[in-house]
Amino acid sequence: MSVRATARITAALDGRGVTSLPVLAGDGPLALRRTRTTGSGARVTVVGAMSAPLGGDRLTIVTRVGEGARLTVDSAAATVALPGEGREPATYDTELSVGERAELRWLPEQLVSAHGSVLHMTTRVRLAPTARLVLREEQILGRHAETTGTLVSRLTVHRAGRPLIDQQLAYGPGAPGGWDGAAVLGGHRAVGQLLFVEPTFDEKCPEARLLGDTAVLTPLAGPAVLVTALAADARRLRGVLDEALNELLDAPAG
């Protein structure tokens, strides 16, 4: 039988100016744990309580970061999309909202699209004008020595009620032709992106540039940049994205 589960996280400042977690509610395969961090922010780790998503599963994570709060969300291990008994695709929806002067770092481990699986992922983000966001997505197309499943991933971000980015990527059987050709993946099986939203970029934003042979930093029409990268494997992909993130954090105004 398919699983339907919704996990919820709410972060808010307490009376001491420290981020608290008034709502931390896991569900089904989405177990949530408050983990150690430094400073006044909070950190939550998503722990897989069972194999998911399988075909037909409907998983959702809803996260709200209140005014002035600081939250990091990561995961304990990669998420592996697996085929189910039925023909229905699995869905994995992420809904994020970040309030004024708040910060969210959304840093899950990789999503692995196993052979025979079908997964539709959506990430919807709403940001206040002074909110900060670091969002990382990494997809590994197939486990070792196997071909990929079908993966459709859409990212939509609104800032101050206006669109900042809306893009959809599709890989595997049933995806538009050419997804695995030289103009798209070029034989790579690890693909990722890093979205960095920083209000000070309104004054000075980093310029577009290449980051090695298979990665690029692109400024968006707003105080944000998008790093897109390809790599032969998950380790190399993480290295490229981590290097880009560290550079942006060290010099957020470009």
User: pLDDT, tens digit, for every residue of 203-234?
Assistant: 899 999 999 899 999 999 999 999 999 999 99
Instruction: Give per-residue pLDDT as tens, 81-126.
Output: 999 877 789 999 999 999 999 999 999 999 999 999 999 999 999 9
Q: Calculate mean pLDDT across residues 181-191.
A: 89
- Evaluate if residue 4 carries a pLDDT over 80: yes
State the pLDDT at residue 252: 46
Tokens read off for 145: 């020595």
Residue with tokens 């006044």: 40
Distances (CA, A) of 179 to 121, 141, 188: 17, 12, 11
- Alpha-carbon gap, residue 115 to 148, rounded angstroms: 5
- Alpha-carbon gap, residue 221 to 228, rounded angstroms: 16
Predicted TM-score (pTM) of this structure: 0.95
Tokens read off for 205: 């934003």
- Evaluate if residue 250 carries a pLDDT over 90: no
User: What end-to-end distance do the CA atoms of the chain give, in Å?
Assistant: 50
**Which residue, 136, 129, 131, is CA-closest to 103?**
131
Q: How confident is the model at residue 251 (pLDDT cuts 50, 70, 90)?
A: low
Q: How many Å is the Cα radius of gyration of the chain?
A: 18
Nearest-5° angle of CA 40, CA 46, CA 197? 55
Buried b (16+ CB within 10 A) or exposed e, 47-68: ebeeebbbbbbbbbbbbbbbeb
Three-class SS string for 61-110? EEEEECCCCEEEEEECCCEEEECCCCCCCEEEEEEEEECCCCEEEEECCC
Instruction: Give per-residue pLDDT as tens, 189-207.
Output: 999 999 999 999 998 999 9
- List the beta strands (DSSP E) in the chain: 4-13, 19-25, 30-34, 42-48, 58-65, 70-75, 79-81, 90-98, 103-107, 111-113, 118-127, 132-141, 150-159, 162-171, 190-197, 209-210, 215-219, 224-231
Residue with tokens 């957020």: 252
- Alpha-carbon gap, residue 110 to 78, rounded angstroms: 5
